[in-house]
C-alpha cells in the first residue's frame, strides 16, 4: 500500500496513547524520602531532639544527592530538562490561569521552579538547624565555630530556623495545590506517576 492510500484510511491519523517511564527509581525514592523526613523533622522539633536532628541530616543528604543526580541522571531528572527562565515560568502560569497550559511529560516550568524553591528552602532550614544545634546544644559539625555564641544569638538562629521551616511548609502546600490543579487540568494522576514512574504519551 502506498503512502497516499495509507493516509486515506480513517485510522491512519488516530493518536495512540502509550505509557512511558518518566521518573526513574532514584528520583521517586528521593521524592518520597524527602517528604517523609521533612514531615518527621517538622513534627518532632524539640520534643524528640535526636530524631529531629537525624531527620535534618537525612534531608541535607538527600538534597546533596539530588543536586548530583540532576547533573548525571536520566533526561527528566536533569536540571537542564525542567529549570526554565523567569519569562517561561510566568508565561506558563498565565496559560495555567487561563486553563490552557501545555502538558509536559516531565516537570512543567512552574513545577520546576517549585522544585528549586523547595530544595533551597529545605537546605536553608537544615543548615540553620545545624547552626542552632551547634550554638545551643554544643553538638554537630558547626559546634566548634558557633559554640561560643551568646544565648541571644542562639535564640535569633532558632527563630530564623523556625521561620524557614514554616516557609518550607507553605511551599509544600503550594506544591500540593499545583499537583492537584495540574492533575485535574490534564486528567492525569500525578501522584500515581511519582509512585509508578509512568506517564502517558501520545504517539501516531
The answer to whether residue 52 sits within a structural domain is: yes
Residue-level pLDDT at 17? 75
Calpha distance 175→169 (Å, rounded): 10
Domain holding 178, by residue range, is 14-203
Nearest Cα to Cα of residue 27 among 57, 60, 72, 58: 72
Below-70 pLDDT ranges, the chain: 1-15, 202-204
Structural domain includes residue 140: yes
Can you read off the three cell numbers belonging to residue 85? Answer: 527562565
CB burial of 158-170 (b: ≥16 within 10 Å; e: otherwise) equals beebeebbeebee
User: In this predicted structure, what is the pLDDT of residue 159?
Assistant: 96
Residue 148: its pLDDT value, please? 87
- What pLDDT does 3 receive? 44
Q: Looking at the 3D structure of the chain, how many domains does it have?
A: 1
Q: Is residue 70 part of a domain?
A: yes
Q: How far apart are the first and last CA of the chain?
A: 18
pTM of the model: 0.88
Residue 90, in any domain of the structure: yes
**Assigned domain for 7 exists:** no
Residue 75 falls inside a structural domain: yes
Mind spelling out the 3-state secondary structure of 136-198?
HCCCCCCHHHHCCCCHHHHHHHHHHHHHHHHHHHHHHHHHHHHHHHHHHHHCCCHHHHHHHCE
In a domain, 171, yes or no: yes
CATH classification of the domain holding 171: 1.20.950.20
| Residue 73: Cβ within 10 Å count | 18
6 within a domain of the structure (yes/no): no
Amino acid at each position: 500500500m502506498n503512502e497516499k492510500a495509507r493516509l486515506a484510511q480513517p485510522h491512519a491519523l488516530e493518536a495512540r496513547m502509550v505509557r512511558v517511564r518518566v521518573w526513574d527509581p532514584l528520583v521517586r525514592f528521593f521524592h518520597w524520602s524527602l517528604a517523609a523526613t521533612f514531615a518527621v523533622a517538622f513534627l518532632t522539633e524539640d520534643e524528640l531532639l535526636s530524631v529531629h536532628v537525624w531527620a535534618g541530616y537525612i534531608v541535607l543528604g538527600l538534597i546533596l544527592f539530588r543536586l548530583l543526580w540532576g547533573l548525571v541522571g536520566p533526561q527528566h531528572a536533569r536540571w537542564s530538562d525542567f529549570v526554565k527562565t523567569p519569562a517561561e515560568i510566568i508565561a506558563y502560569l498565565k496559560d495555567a490561569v487561563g486553563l490552557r497550559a501545555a502538558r509536559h511529560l516531565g516537570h512543567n516550568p512552574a513545577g520546576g521552579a517549585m522544585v528549586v524553591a523547595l530544595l533551597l528552602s529545605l537546605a536553608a532550614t537544615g543548615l540553620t538547624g545545624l547552626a542552632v544545634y551547634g550554638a545551643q546544644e554544643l553538638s554537630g559539625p558547626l559546634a566548634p565555630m558557633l559554640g561560643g555564641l551568646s544565648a541571644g544569638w542562639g535564640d535569633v538562629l532558632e527563630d530564623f530556623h523556625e521561620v524557614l521551616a514554616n516557609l518550607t511548609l507553605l511551599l509544600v502546600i503550594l506544591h500540593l495545590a499545583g499537583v492537584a490543579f495540574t492533575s485535574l487540568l490534564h486528567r492525569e494522576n500525578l501522584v500515581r506517576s511519582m509512585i509508578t514512574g509512568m506517564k502517558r504519551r501520545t504517539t501516531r
